[in-house]
Amino acid sequence: DADVTQTPRNRITKTGKRIMLECSQTKGHDRMYWYRQDPGLGLRLIYYSFDVKDINKGEISDGYSVSRQAQAKFSLSLESAIPNQTALYFCATSVQGTAPFFGQGTRLTVV
C-alpha cells in the first residue's frame, strides 16, 4: 500500500466547476504539502501545513484552498476551475529534518 495516497489519479473537469483533490498518508508525518507541476517549470508550492491547526500559503495559492481534516488528511480545492489550472498535482509529507515524501500525483485537466 502506498504511504501517501492521492485521489483521484486522473480527473477531467469543466471550466467553472468546483473540484477537490484528496491526500491521505500512513507515514505518521505532521507536515503536508501540495505542489503543482507544469512542464518546464518544475514543481511549485501551493499550500503547506505543519499540523492540523496550521495552514500556510505557498508560492501560487491564488485560486486554491485547502483543508487539513486530520493529521493524515490534506485536501486541495479549486473553487472554480480554469484551464490554466491544468497540471499534475502532488501531495507530499515530512517531519522536520527529513526530505518530503511524494505521492503518485493527480493529473487534472480543465476543459
Partner 1 sequence: AQSVTQLGSHVSVSEGALVLLRCNYSSSVPPYLFWYVQYPNQGLQLLLKYTTGATLVKGINGFEAEFKKSETSFHLTKPSAHMSDAAEYFCAVSASGGAQKLVFGQGTRLTINP
Give the dihedral of Cα atoms 69, 82, 44, 37; nearest 10 deg.
100
58 binds partner 1 (CB under 8 A): yes
Q: How far is the CB of 92 from partner 1 (least distance, A)?
A: 8
The C-alpha cell at 27 is 507515514
Q: How far is the CB of 76 from partner 1 (least distance, A)?
A: 15
Binding mask 72-101 for partner 1 (x = CB under 8 A): ------------------x-x-x-xxxxxx
Instruction: Name the residue with cell 487534472.
Output: 108
64 binds partner 1 (CB under 8 A): no
Site for partner 1 in 3-42 (CB under 8 A): 4, 31, 33, 35, 40-42
Nearer to partner 1, 40 or 62 (CB): 40
CB contact set of 14 (below 8 Å; sequence gap of 6+): 81, 110, 111
How much of the chain is helix, strand and coil, in % rounded to 5? 5, 60, 40
